[in-house]
Amino acid sequence: MPSFEHSPAPFRVLILGGSYAGLAAALNLVDLCHGRRHRFSITDGDNGTGKVIPVQVTIVDPRDGWFHLIGQPLALASTESAEAFWCKYSETPALQTPNIRTLQGTIDSLDCTSKRATIATSKGPIQESYDYLITCTGLRREFPSAPRSVTREDYLAESAQNLANVRDAPKGVAIIGGGAVGIEIAAECKMLHPHTDVTLIHSRASLLSSEPLPAEFSAKALEIIRASGINTVMGARVNETTKTDDGYTLTLSTGETLTASHVINAVSRFTPTAPNYLPEGICDEEGYIRIKPTLEFPSDASLPAEIAADHYAAGDVARWSGIKRGGAAMHQGHYAARNIHQKMMAKVYGTTAEFVALEEVQSGMGIALGETAVSYFPSMGLGEGEETRKMFFEDDLGFMICYRWMQLGKPMPPPVEAPASEETTKPVAVSNPTPVEAAA
């Protein structure tokens, strides 16, 4: 490891949100600062820079662990999946390094100019100073699109109750909403509990009606779920849901009524979280953070360029082209980490920063439908069948694909041992702020 003559304090990087974008940013950044090949690298012969940079990353998240949000429809229907898909930060091997600290809480306020955040925790507010910030707080999603719980134990109880309701449903299960979440919940419930009658209700004439995708994609999804034995009610809105002694009565806009033992409302409702804590003008009219292709905040009257350049956004909370997906979030987190590392390298080693930039993304989507799947991407066209499911989801709605890609099961290796004779490993003198303060 290079010898730092004046031992500069570590760069403090605050990451708001510990989902796909947040973890991808944290893990790749520590890899890079350890001087080795970062975990998302696909470049042959990439062995890293060999140059070590002191860094301290703090991840702030409301939950006590990473939850595989893509797999929520399967977790609601399977105890084994629910147990696997919530990985506590304190038990995730890749995060067990002194360079990464996790803090359970939510962002209360942010002063971008002084680079100080106030974090609300169960023990009271905590002040966090930083040198670079990556906000990955995502969207505020309602159940069942996302868990209500913030601890693994509470989540397992929540999922167990839903599973019991699906298993013990003599009048069947009614799922309201034909978006991606509703469709996948219906498909997983029917696949894992074939004895249960499942009815999917959608207010429009076609499924996935809010997505900018070809009609053939939604038509194929409807064809597959009907073939799997799921009842479908299209073009009818649920006006009222009434609790009865033995279940529910649903009154539709057509005047018809349906009965069910259990009702899951999967109508998509989500809003960006950023407007609650960011300066006015950083977000667009819908609340998404406006970013440059390098993922930096935009500069304007409320945020000067020299300040905006140290603030990044990645994942669902960022305004970028394409449909919000876990893979895109990880990609953006990775790029934010690389660009921040380039700035660190310039400050510590005097190198010339070379930034990576996002490209515009065309809309595409893959949906798991029980034992099969359907997908559409402009470069690939329409796909369906078991091979499509394996490619996009394997057998667990993509859990192991994401887990392996982020290498969550591997402990973080120590920094590289660079040759002492390498002149390029000697850092230039830098003036850095104090280290991250310990959590209360």
Sorted by where each begins, the domain ranges of the chain are: 11-145+269-362+398-406
Q: Which residues contact 176 (CB under 8 A, 6 or more apart)?
A: 182, 201, 238, 250, 263, 264, 265, 266, 267
For residue 2, pLDDT over 70 is answered with no
- Residues 1-20, mean pLDDT to the nearest whole number: 78
- Residues 148-159, mean pLDDT to the nearest whole number: 95
Q: Tell me what pLDDT residue 34 has.
A: 97
Q: Tell me what pLDDT residue 8 has.
A: 72
For residue 147, pLDDT over 50 is answered with yes
Q: Tell me what pLDDT residue 422 has.
A: 45
Integer Cα distance of 57 and 63 in angstroms: 17
If one counts every other C-beta atom within 10 angstroms of the C-beta of residue 273, the result is 22
Tokens encoding 308: 């905006």
Q: Tell me what pLDDT residue 418 has.
A: 57
SS3 content of the chain, % helix, strand, coil (to 5): 30, 25, 45
- Residues 189-210, mean pLDDT to the nearest whole number: 95
Q: pTM of this prediction?
A: 0.91
275: preceding bond cis by omega (within 30 degrees): no
For residue 163, pLDDT over 70 is answered with yes
- Residues 185-200, mean pLDDT to the nearest whole number: 95
Q: Tell me what pLDDT residue 39 has.
A: 97
Local confidence band at 20 (pLDDT 50, 70, 90 cut-offs): very high
How much of the chain, in percent, has pLDDT values that exceed 70?
93
- Residues 375-392, mean pLDDT to the nearest whole number: 95
For residue 435, pLDDT over 50 is answered with no
- Residues 377-396, mean pLDDT to the nearest whole number: 95
Tell me: the pLDDT tens digits for 39-85?
A: 999 999 999 999 999 999 999 999 999 999 999 999 999 999 999 99
Tell me: the pLDDT tens digits for 316-368?
A: 999 999 999 999 999 999 999 999 999 999 999 999 999 999 999 999 999 99
Local confidence band at 301 (pLDDT 50, 70, 90 cut-offs): low
If one counts every other C-beta atom within 10 angstroms of the C-beta of residue 58, the result is 22
Q: Tell me what pLDDT residue 1 has.
A: 41
Q: Tell me what pLDDT residue 302 has.
A: 78
For residue 420, pLDDT over 80 is answered with no
Mean pLDDT of all residues in the chain?
Answer: 91
For residue 250, pLDDT over 70 is answered with yes
Which is more confident, 251 or 303? 251
Q: Tell me what pLDDT residue 5 has.
A: 45
If one counts every other C-beta atom within 10 angstroms of the C-beta of residue 132, the result is 24
Evaluate whether 206 touches 282 at the Cβ level (below 8 Å).
no
For residue 419, pLDDT over 70 is answered with no
- Residues 282-297, mean pLDDT to the nearest whole number: 94
Tell me: the pLDDT tens digits for 173-187?
A: 999 999 999 999 999
For residue 403, pLDDT over 80 is answered with yes
Q: Which of 325, 285, 281, 319 is nearest to 300 (CA)?
A: 281
Tokens encoding 90: 């304190």
Sheet holding 116-121, edge to edge: 106-111, 116-121, 124-129
Collapsed DSSP state (helix, strand, coil) of residue 13: strand
Tell me: the pLDDT tens digits for 96-134?
A: 999 999 999 999 999 999 999 999 999 999 999 999 999
Local confidence band at 427 (pLDDT 50, 70, 90 cut-offs): very low
Local confidence band at 385 (pLDDT 50, 70, 90 cut-offs): very high
If one counts every other C-beta atom within 10 angstroms of the C-beta of residue 91, the result is 11
Evaluate whether 111 touches 430 at the Cβ level (below 8 Å).
no
Q: Tell me what pLDDT residue 269 has.
A: 73
CATH tag for 11-145+269-362+398-406 (out of 3.50.50.60, 3.40.50.300, 2.40.30.60, 3.90.1310.10): 3.50.50.60
Q: Which of 365, 359, 391 is nearest to 214 (CA)?
A: 365
Integer Cα distance of 329 and 399 in angstroms: 15
| CA of residue 354 relative to chain centroid, distance | 26
